[in-house]
Structure formats: C-alpha cells, structure tokens
Amino acid sequence: MNNLKAVIDNQINKNAGINLLCKWKSHFNFSDEMLRSVHKIKYIDKYLQESLTDYAANKVLDEFYRINQYYQFNDNSKIELKSIYANLINDLANKQTPADQLAEIHFSNLKQWLLKTNLFAAKMYSNSAENIEPTVCFEYTPRLQLDILQIDMSKIVEPVLDIGCGQKGNLVNYFRRKGIEAFGIDRFPSDSLYIQNTDWLEFDYGVNRWGTIISNLGFSNHFVHHHLRKDGNYVYYAKKYMEVIRSLKVNGSFHYAPDLSFIEQFLDTGIYKIKQKPIDNRSYKSTVIKRLL
C-alpha cells in the first residue's frame, strides 16, 4: 500500500506545474514506475482501492492549490475528481488502452474539470507557458500575525477560530501553548486534533459560538479576489462573511486582513464596531469587527 502511495507521489511530482490550459501540446505522461506498478491494484481489496483513489485525488488537489491558492473546489467537485481518478486507476490496471492514449484522455478530463470548477483559469493560463509557477502562499509567524491583526493577548475572548490556519496551524498551536482554547480550519489536511480539514465556505460557523475569529490574508483576501472578478463567487462570500460575524459571541471579534470596505460600510454600527489599522508598507489595512449586542 505504502509503495503504491509512493508511486502516486512520484507521478504527481513528475507532472507538477504542467499547465492544463496551455495551447501547445503538453508532455503530460505516465512514468515507467507507474505503468509497472499499477497492475498491483487489481490484487488488493476494494477498501484499499478506494483509499488509494482518495489519496491520489487529495494529492492532486494539493497540487492545484499549490499552483493557485485562489482555486476553489466544493464537495461536489472533489467527488468528480475522485471519479476521474477511480476511472484512471481502473483503466491503467486493466491495460486495455495504450498508456499514451490514456494520458491524453486523462489530461483532457482534468482540463474540463478545472474549467468547470474554476472558469477564470482559462483567462489566466491559456496563453501561458507549458509549465507555470505557483502563487506565493505561506504561513506567517504568530507574533507577526498578532501585530497585523490587532490582537491583544491579555484581552482575547475564547474560544478562538483561525480561518485558513495553514497545515501547520502555527497560530493555533501558539494560542494553545498559552492556555487559550483555539481551533483552526484549513483545506490542507493536518495531523493536529485541533485543525479541521474543510473549506471555509462549507464550514458551519454556528451562532454565538466564537469569542475570536482570525483570518490573515485568507478568507478576506479571497473575498477581494472574487469581488474583483466578473465570474467571481462574491455573493456566496458575502453571505459567508455575514455568517462568520453572526457566529461571534457578544464582545467577540473578527480580526482579518486585508480590509473589506465594500461590505464593511453596510454593517449595522449599532451591532458591530469597526476598527481599522494601516499595515506598514502595505496597500491594505487590517480590520477588527467587534460584536456589541
């Protein structure tokens, strides 16, 4: 099982960064290692086959997120991707179709799936090179985040939720070491018991549940991105934003950057207090939304 996972890892690494939408013919293909090993799948039970399919689909999702952090894949699109890989693994194992032909079919399936789920990618990458560089996305140190997000540790209200906390959950772990009840959500799987692997658009934030909610260059950054796109999912982001602030306890606060002036201006100032802070050498501000009632 682990050997097959390693083969999958190597295959994904082999084609990492390939532009699915490039107008020129791609060099996308299967490695000799994959073609030699995939027949073994026929001899393992159905549960392990499904486990391998899940593993492959999740690894490919990680690769898409690495290429562009603004890609958005809901539960249905993830199910579709899993189906693509279930069919691929089955076809490779049966060896009834030539490998080069399967590679073309699979490449086309991935391309159509990407366009269906993230249409904006066509505008970004159709005229790009065969290989594309990923967008920069990394985790900030806890102290830097506390400063940017205007968080006073002596006044923090529990429990804390970090939206888009990162796979390592640096800030979540920092809070918990300080004895503060903190949790995180992120689309990358984590080994931490306090971090849930989920999409922030599908997470149930609840009502009157959180003392402090945090998002540094995560939720609000993506909200701005969708707000500026003609095909953006800005309405759903706006609804989710309101769900987030309704999930605050009285005197709880939502700390985020960049600011979202295009929606903050419509908040009821009798219920929510808005505080902003310019970020040094940055073109944006951080915002704190405090629930008053």
For the domain that residue 276 is a member of, what is the CATH number?
3.40.50.150
Q: Is position 283 within any domain?
A: yes
What's the pLDDT score for residue 25? 57
HSE (CB half, 13 Å, CA atoms) of 96? 6
Reported as a single tens digit per residue, the pLDDT across 37-79 is: 887 887 788 888 899 999 999 999 989 988 887 788 988 999 9
**Containing domain of residue 155, as a range?**
143-291
Instruction: Based on the fold, state whether residues 168 and 86 are members of the same structural domain.
Output: no
Question: Average pLDDT of 250-267?
Answer: 96
| pLDDT bucket at 24, cuts 50 / 70 / 90 | low
DSSP codes, 62-100: HHHHHH-TT----HHHHHHHHHHHHHHHHHHHHT-S-HH
**Span 149-208, pLDDT tens digits:** 999 999 999 999 999 998 889 999 999 999 999 999 998 888 899 999 999 999 999 999
Question: Would you say 85 and 57 are in contact if contact means Cβ atoms under 8 Å apart?
Answer: yes
Question: Whole-prediction pTM value?
Answer: 0.71
* Residues 277 and 152 grouped into a single domain: yes
Q: How many domains does the chain have?
A: 2
Q: What is the pLDDT of residue 222?
A: 85
